[in-house]
Amino acid sequence: MLVALNNPALSAFCSHYAHLGWLAMMTEVNLTPKPGLVDRRNNGAHRDMTLMDFHRSASAIARWLPKFILYGAQTAGMTEAHILPGLRSLGLACEREMYLATEGINTHKGTIFSLGLLCAALGRHYQLHHPQQPEALCETVAKICRGLVARELHILSPEQAKTAGQRLWLNMGLSGARGEAESGFALVCNLALPHYRQCQKEGLPPSLALLNTLLVLIAHNKDTNVASRGGLSGLNWIQHTARELLARVPTSHREHLAAIRQFDDQCIKRHLSPGGSADLLIVTWFLSHLSHFQWSLSC
């Protein structure tokens, strides 16, 4: 039997996982040092945004995450393919709140897309009594986004390209956040999440485990944020450098952190920022902590 949509348990469930989403955003931005990204060390390859912009943005977005979860519960009787238009409207409204909080700076647009989908999947699973496990949620996201790349990116000529995403697809074959969502966050589920869990098992300090997971994402993600700034050559360089860092066996944690700081300096010099990988790191942390935040219908 489905749970009534106006019950206090559902409201608490929404608040519960919205808080986890906020923690994921805050954990990512405060993680230091990150190559080319805003953190507590510097503003990365960005001249228009600061750490505090991300803090304000995360708080603004967190207030909207319960709406995504509730929408997922409210539309549980619909097929996954039919709920994306309503999610898009919510996402655009959430973006407006982000821009108000940051005075027009795009800090978390990709995160709104990714966390919005995952939160909707959580609400759907709650309402249908389906498992709230990472793989199950990502499978639902893939169903929601089925055909998204073909519908929104497949164009025939430069004249038809109206968005940066369409231009990157046409010129470089990069599907960006849409492709990752349609795959059910395959990079996260198949690479980043297992790597992060392994780092934790090996007893790495939490920040270093997360930094190494970011390097895994940078090494394998065809990041449209990087490609839009540095082209395919910039993308190839940043992936190659991340792979080199991962393959290197440091003599100490201090040496490894020094190498990451050097990578950061190089990214800044080249004006490269792997923002797409940062968004996927937020997804990785969020999914990895679901078990710690596991909610029961009896709560």
**Quick check: 158 pLDDT over 70?**
no
Checking if the pLDDT of 297 tops 60, the result is no
Residue 280 lies in a domain: yes
Residue 221 maps to a domain: yes
Residue 237 tokens, joined: 């360089």
> Which of the four pLDDT bands, split at 50, 70 and 90, describes residue 294?
low
Whether residue 180 lies inside any domain: the answer is yes
Query: Which has the closest alpha carbon to 224: 158, 155, 169, 281?
Result: 169
The pTM score is 0.94
User: Dihedral sign, CA of 1, 21, 117, 75?
Assistant: positive
pLDDT, tens digit, 9 for 90 and up, residues 7-64: 888 999 999 999 999 999 999 999 999 999 999 999 999 999 999 999 999 999 999 9
In DSSP notation, 144-202 reads: HTTTHHHHHH--SSGGG--SHHHHHHHHH---HHHHHHHTTSHHIIIIIHHHHHHHHHT
Neighbours of 151 (CB within 10 A): 11
The answer to whether residue 157 scores a pLDDT higher than 70 is no
State CA 180 to chain mean position distance: 10
**pLDDT of the residue at 299:** 42
The range of the structural domain enclosing residue 178 comes to: 8-289
Q: Is residue 296 part of a domain?
A: no
Sort 257 into a burial class: Cβ within 10 Å, 0-12 / 13-18 / 19+: middle
Q: Is residue 3 part of a domain?
A: no
Total structural domains within the chain: 1
What pLDDT does 193 receive?
97
